[in-house]
A and B are shown apart, each in its own frame.
Chain A
Amino acid sequence: MAVENAVLTVADVQKSFGGLRALSEIDLQIERGKTHAIIGPNGAGKSTLLNVCVGRIPPDEGAVVFKGQVITGKKPHEINQMGIARVFQTPEIFADLTVLQNVMVPAYAKRDGAVKFTLFHGMDKDTDIRLEAEQILMDLGLADKRHDDADSMSRGDKRRLELAMCLVQHPDLLLLDEPTAGMSRLDTNRTIDLLKSIKERGMTKVIIEHDMHVVFSLADKVSVLAQGRIIAEGTPDEVRANPKVQEAYLGGAH
């Protein structure tokens, strides 16, 4: 079952909270350049799994390996510096900064590392950062809003901004936690288009989602999580045809 060019490998991970088994015997290989969706009914352990993947929650057993390095127990900024960017379920942006600055901040982190003091250096000299940020904003259709306060934007725009903040770093792996949660059908479709468009950049993506429409439009591979276990894995069509999945998820939830 080993995948040749796996970017992220989750090996035999177990996690319990108190007496509750949140994750058991999780094995996952995220293939380079592919979009991998993790689906499952509410409470299946999707968010826990994502948090384990970014090192936020240490697993009781097993390990998470990214590009040959164990990332379990590392701090969020170290994991980001290794090349993992994350989009949160509710947009986490810098509300007090302008849209452009919101994108420039991660660009600096990518260029200068986790700590670099540039106290007396005008930002206008960093044209490379600026151009990069402007380009991403243009790609995501936010260019005309770049001098607005990030806080003044609509929720959908904030989510696009958060995506821009991740894309500007050209991460090796992009984690998306329910990118369409709480969106209207129109906004959902727009987001799907957006994510499809960045697929062309060859970025590896992991999407946590329970909207099947989103999953089947985007994913190359789907893992189905139920009660803390992976019950099925395969292409969207394979998973759709799997009776176990229909029983656990499709039948139960819809």
Chain B
Amino acid sequence: MDTTPSKNAPLSETERVGPAAKEKSVFYRTSGRIATQLPPRGPEMAPLWPPKADIFMTIVFSAVVLTMPLWLQPFGAAYPDLMQRFAIFGIFAIGFNILFGLTGYLSFGHAAFLGVGSYAAVWSFKLFSLNIIPAIIMAVVIAGALAVAIGFVSLRRSGIYFSILTLAFAQMCYNLAYSVLTPITNGETGLRVLSDDPRIIDAIFGTNEVPVPRAELFGISMQGMPGFWTSAVFLIAAFVVALLITRSPFGMMLRGIKSNQVRMSYVGFNTRPYTLMAFVISGMYAGLAGGLLAVVDPLAGAERMQWTASGEVVLMTILGGAGTLLGPFLGAVLIKYFENIFSALGDTTLRSMLEFIPEGLRDTAIAIISPFVGDGWHLTLGVLFMLVVIFMPGGLIEGFRRIGRLFTGGGRKKENG
């Protein structure tokens, strides 16, 4: 659950009383004496974190994702459209976390990659095939290429400059999508798949004559549950890749950059290629998410690139817990769940929900609540945003950890998350 797993790895018994412990303080008593004893080798050397824990976490994560149709029933959220969004925005947030959580570079322009991924996928549906494989590849590759270009420029600066630059680039993409690039993006109407598109690959196989064009995988239409299962598989893959990256030396370098970039360069690392790589990887994740959005609903619009969309993924990540592995997905599910519930609430539903309140107070309650629901969902989002940053900058995972620590006797620093 934590990206600094080695802290969590409990010291094995051999380690605790091993040569290391005996070595303690010898140094000072015999000034200048250098220990010649070697540290434990081979099987004795405890791994930096228990590999079993990672496998266990992956299995639990996969199980939770794949059983969503079951356990989401009581919440009234077990329908494909919403679960697809959980999975897709989970991918988006997990990818964003690779940049923000590991390197600390706060991008405000990741929605641009999401939008570009969607456009690329829809164009693949139009030009090549309704099969989702070329569409996903197109989405990831083109979003990645855009990330190389934007990252190359933006990463020349750090801190707020970087945030501003990414925000500016995203706004630029948004403006372009609405103006000059209308032939590609179809402007405000949005880009959709039409039945008379060329689809050259499908044409070769003679499968391009379809009454209603829908994304498919070798004949399975991506409408409804198959769309969810596809997104879920991609989500699990995305999670595993993020896990591997976090545990790799590369992941440690990224955290080193977040922790102390000056030190990184003074120990001999050229940090910019590392940050660029992280930026591109997270851009590709966003492209994948955008492509999947087009897979489940073959339509792409520029509103996906708006600054609020960039802000939303930031919120998901910090709400769950930036730098943690499970946090971003948790944040994405919560945000999308509440968005779904809140934005569907109208005054009439609200009135029937609040029937338990006495008549006189009910109108007041409704007057207070109604700006936050329905169209006012973004207000709730903004308030939530501020509350999380002010009171819970570590996010929910950090919060759980603190609560857990209360119950297990607090004092120990190496508490497991």
Binding site for B on A (CB under 8 A): 75-77, 80-81, 85-86, 88, 92-98, 100-101, 104-106, 108-110, 112-115, 117-124, 126-127, 130-131, 134-135, 138-141, 143-144, 146-149, 152, 165, 169, 190, 193-194, 196-197, 200
Contact = CB atoms under 8 A, between A and B. Distances in A.
B58 to A, nearest CB: 14
Contacts of A77: 264-266, 268-271
A249 to B, nearest CB: 28
A11 to B, nearest CB: 24
B210 to A, nearest CB: 39
6 closest A-B pairs by CB: A80-B268, A141-B27, A109-B268, A134-B39, A143-B20, A193-B31
Contact of B255 (A76, A92, A94, A112): A94
5 contacts: A94-B263, A105-B252, A119-B244, A127-B42, A141-B23
B259 interface: yes
A108 B7 CA distance: 20
Given A80-B267, A105-B252, A146-B20, 14 more contacts: A76-B266, A77-B264, A77-B271, A94-B259, A101-B252, A105-B256, A106-B267, A119-B245, A119-B248, A124-B51, A135-B39, A165-B267, A193-B28, A196-B31
B268 A81 contact: yes
Contacts, number: 175
Among B24, B249, B271, find the residue whose CB has the most chain A CB atoms closer than 10 A: B249
A86 B262 CA distance: 12
A5 to B, nearest CB: 24
A76 B265 contact: yes
A112 B28 CA distance: 34
Best-buried of B34, B37, B274 by chain A (most CB within 10 Å):
B34
A105 B267 contact: yes
Interface string B229-245: 00000000000010011
B414 to A, nearest CB: 7
B24 A144 contact: yes
Q: Kindly state the interface size class of chain B when it binds its partner.
A: 35 or more
B378 interface: no
A147 B27 CA distance: 19
A115 B263 CA distance: 15
Contacts of A108: 249, 252-253
B249 A118 contact: yes
Given A100-B6, A114-B269, A144-B20, A124 B47 contact: yes
A122 B247 contact: yes
Contacts of A76: 262, 265-266
A75 B270 contact: yes
A135 B38 contact: yes
A93 B7 contact: no
